[in-house]
Amino acid sequence: MKIIQYKIGSGENLRFIAAKFNTDTESLKKFHNSRSGFSNMILADNLPLHLDTIYIEQKIFEEAIIKSGNMESLNFENAIRYRCEQLNISRINNEIITLSANTIYEFLVKKAKDTNIFDVELTDSDFSVEPAVYEPGLKFAQKLDKLKLPITFNISDDGVIKEIFNHNEIEHRWKNFRDNELQNAEIYQQLNAQSPKQAEDIIITGNKEFLDQNNLSNMMDKNLFFHLFTKSFLVNQLKNYQLQQFSQIFPNVDLKTDVVKSIVREDENLATYRLVGTLNRENLSDEMLKNMYDSIYKSSLKFNYTAFDFIYRINYTVDKETGLLREGKASIAEKIKNNFEVITEYKIKQVEL
């Protein structure tokens, strides 16, 4: 539980402050008194004359601001810059690399004072990919990702984006791109000429993702920066969870991974945690995967189907005072053992402004 010291404004009394934060005077007094010294306790229905601040749960303060719709009053401060590097590789027979893409990002994160509301903007990015034939597709995917930023949000108790406060702006950026720029994109023109249905799917998928706030929040959690940042912010309050995503190897196969959190080390300033995922095979048919492998891959890979697995490993370090991520590493992979694998390696660290 995070606590703030609310500065009592001129002319504000106990009843006014309670109403402002959608609570009652007794609850307000009880919470404050449990955290103040005797000389600063509120013992009657009036505020002591010498009292200039009152203890309030941060969550209540944040919810009152959101309910009032007065987001303009937020004071974003304490900007932090993160640099990230992501390497994506697909490989066959443990040695032949069929795709290698290296992407760098730089994000600027600002936190609104006395809340868990953040503003994130992308300040730099670049990539390289081999073979070069994949470059237009990766460039197009990055263009879509950039439409989501900047983004202003808070974080749920599950460690994902809860509310997107500038969703209207993001929705407008998508609509403008969809209606005015998409038709001129080279990759869209190629798809439209060769497979109109796939070109149409870009618009259908984009509408689902950008126009629905819940879908957009879920998609942002697939981005490893937001995945690490939001989960790390809960520090020791993050519970074990289930990760759900579609397979990159087998089309339309839903993978569920049970993730367990543990602490690696801790001192008075920093805490390092580990997230380890185990593929949930309860509703995953190995026979179905074998049939899909035989249909899609066997003719080119030659070898028989072996075994399928999903690996999810994340380590991250958090500043205990601020609750903010210092650095982290992620290793995520889908593998058909000895035959084919798709690997993502991700690194993130704070850097000076």
pLDDT at 48: 85
Do 249 and 343 sit in the same domain of this protein?
A: yes
pLDDT at 154: 94
Q: Is the pLDDT of residue 160 over 70?
A: yes
Domain hosting residue 48, numbered range? 3-68
Question: Domain total for the chain?
Answer: 2
Do 148 and 281 sit in the same domain of this protein?
A: yes
Do 58 and 78 sit in the same domain of this protein?
A: no
What does each C-alpha distance from 239 to 189, 236, 264, 291, 338 come to in angstroms? 45, 8, 16, 36, 34
- The residues with which 104 forms a beta bridge, in sequence order, are 85, 126
Q: Is the pLDDT of residue 210 over 70?
A: yes
Do 167 and 191 sit in the same domain of this protein?
A: yes
Q: How far apart are CA 153 and CA 163, in angstroms?
A: 5
pLDDT at 115: 85
Report the 10 Å Cβ neighbour count for 18.
17
User: What pLDDT band is residue 123 in, cutting at 50, 70 and 90?
Assistant: very high
pLDDT tens, 291-326? Answer: 999 999 999 999 999 999 999 999 999 999 888 999
Using alpha carbons only, give the angle 255, 256, 258 rounded to the nearest 5 degrees. 145
Do 264 and 209 sit in the same domain of this protein?
A: yes
Q: Across all residues in the chain, what is the average pLDDT? A: 92
Q: Which has the higher per-residue pLDDT, 304 or 36?
A: 304
Do 198 and 140 sit in the same domain of this protein?
A: yes
Instruction: Report the percentage of the chain scoring pLDDT > 90.
Output: 73
Do 325 and 255 sit in the same domain of this protein?
A: yes
User: Where a domain ends, among 68, 83, 117?
Assistant: 68
Question: What would the DSSP string read from start to end of 126-141?
Answer: EEEEESGGGHHHHHHH
Q: Is the pLDDT of residue 122 over 70?
A: yes
User: Where a domain ends, among 68, 86, 114?
Assistant: 68
Phi first, then psi, for residue 168 (nearest 5°) are: -60, -40
Are the beta carbons of 352 and 327 closer than 8 angstroms?
Answer: no
Do 115 and 12 sit in the same domain of this protein?
A: no
Do 224 and 323 sit in the same domain of this protein?
A: yes
Task: Give the CATH number for residue 265.
Answer: 2.30.230
pLDDT at 129: 97
User: What pLDDT band is residue 255 in, cutting at 50, 70 and 90?
Assistant: very high
Do 34 and 156 sit in the same domain of this protein?
A: no
Least confident range of 45-54, 94-103, 133-142, 286-295: 45-54
pLDDT at 195: 92
Q: How far apart are CA 105 and CA 299, in angstroms?
A: 38
User: Where a domain ends, among 68, 97, 122?
Assistant: 68
Global pTM?
A: 0.87
Q: Is the pLDDT of residue 1 over 70?
A: no
